[in-house]
Amino acid sequence: MNKDIVEGLKGGAIIALSASPFAVLFGAVAVDNGLTVLDAALMSATIYAGASQLVGIELFGQHVAPWLIVLSIFAVNFRHILYSAAIARHIRGYSFLQKAIAFFFLIDPQFAEAIRRAEQGRALTFTWYMAFALVIYFPWLFFSTLGAWFGSMLGDPRVWAIDVLLPVYFLGLVLGFRRKPGFYPVVAASMAGSVAGYYLVGSPWHVSIGAICGVLVAALLPLPAQPVATQVSEEATS
Amino acid sequence: MDDLSTLWLILAAALATYATRVGGYVLITRMRTLPPRLEQALNAVPAAVLTTLWAPAFFTNGWDVRLALIAAALVSLRYPGLIMLAAGWAAAMLARHAFGL
């Protein structure tokens, strides 16, 4: 089999496995908040963004105005604007249709792995990208439907510590970037911004507020003597 | 909420999400060259965004969640993602069921 397919499937399978508890959790919570199994499956299939699906579900249960639910999901997903901007220079070779399809699957781990691959100097082929994407997408759909099906059987997520998996997972992704230039000031700013936003404005706005703080600090940090791109490739070889 | 409006709501949310995934690309390709500061800012995006998805959990929860995150951070310095996830989970289970935190 094509090496890109094998590598994509392998990398994606790990993500699919670690995301499956969240998919089950999402399905269970969705049914608990009055959605049907079909609605939950449709959300996973068309929105395909775990954290925002959970935010949406929480607001469904509170009978918030529909436009506010859509706006909240947009706010949580706002980071993807930055992802598609950052990935643009690595997918110049894709056709229009390939780009349109690829962007639908641009979730957090997809972006993190794609950027890592590109920065290691390896080609970000459409084949690798889709193998990685689909091996996450279908289990995500399957496990959220399964979770919705079993619904209340999961009980309180705290008993099985399901609730800590999401933050632990995101913390791990962040620590993977710790050798990047400007990592510590950026993370410190994002931490301060998101925690302050959480208390002063509330969820889900803290996501966008914290992200803007971190990105602003990165933009204001002194530029390195050599171009950033060179520094990244040196890092990868050391 | 009736079934039909739920369906439209989900589709609107899906469209909004897709817009965020295409939007950055559309904006960036309209600019010919990337200013170095913008490039530096773009390089910081993943760390800046993903931090907001765990930092409030650390500061607003009890010591069960804090210990889970600290344990996971220490383990991640040497071991891959899934082992780190297991370590964080085990720390939270211990904190909750053995120490009642």
Q: How confident is the model at residue A60 (pLDDT cuts 50, 70, 90)?
A: confident
Residues A71, A28, single domain; the answer is yes
Residue A172 maps to a domain:
no
Domain boundary among A122, A141, A165: A165
**A165, A185, A218 - which closes a domain:** A165
User: Which chain B residues contact residue A140 at CB under 8 A?
Assistant: none
Does residue A171 sit within a domain?
Answer: no
Instruction: Please list every residue in chain B whose beta carbon sits closer than 8 Å to the beta carbon of residue A198.
Output: 56, 59-60
User: Does residue B32 register a pLDDT over 80?
Assistant: no
DSSP string, A109-154: HHHHHHHHHHHTT----HHHHHHHHHHHHHHHHHHHHHHHHHGGGG
**Can you tell me the distance from the alpha carbon of A32 to that of A12, in angstroms, rounded to the nearest whole number?**
29
pLDDT at B67: 96
Q: Is residue A170 part of a domain?
A: no
Which residue, chain included where needed, has tokens 């639908």? A104
Q: Given a cut of 80, is residue A75 above it in pLDDT?
A: no
Task: Report CB contact under 8 Å: B14, A46.
Answer: yes
Share of chain A above pLDDT 70, in %: 90
Question: Which one is predicted more confidently, A125 or A54?
Answer: A125
Quote the domain boundaries for residue A236.
Answer: 177-238
Average pLDDT over residues A172-198: 93
Residue of chain B nearest A90, judged by CA positions: B25
Which value, to the nearest 10 degrees, does the dihedral of the CA atoms of residues B68, B70, B73, B75 take? -70
The reply to whether omega before A139 is within 30° of 0 (cis) is no
**Average pLDDT of the residues in A30-46:** 89
The verdict on a CB contact (< 8 Å) between B47 and A215 is no
Q: Are residues A56 and A161 in the same domain?
A: yes
Residue A230 confidence (pLDDT): 41
Q: Chain B contact for A5, CB < 8 A?
A: no
Same domain, residue pair A36 and A122: yes
Q: Is this complex's ipTM strictly greater than 0.95? A: no
What's the whole-number mean pLDDT along residues A8-33?
Answer: 85
Question: Domain end: A113, A140, A165, which one?
Answer: A165
Closest residue, chain B, to A57 (C-alpha): B10
Residue ranges of domains in chain B: 1-32, 44-101
Give yes or no: residues A187 and A93 share one domain: no
Nearest to B69 among A14, A104, A171 (CB): A171
Instruction: Please tell me the predicted confidence (pLDDT) of residue B1.
Output: 52
| Domains contained in chain A, number | 2
Q: Model confidence over A120-137: pLDDT tens digits?
A: 889 899 999 999 999 999
CA distances from A24 to A47, A202, B17, B81, B85 (A): 16, 26, 21, 20, 17
pLDDT beyond 90 at A177: no
Tokens found for residue A15: 């993500």
A135: closest CA among A50, A45, A51, A17? A17
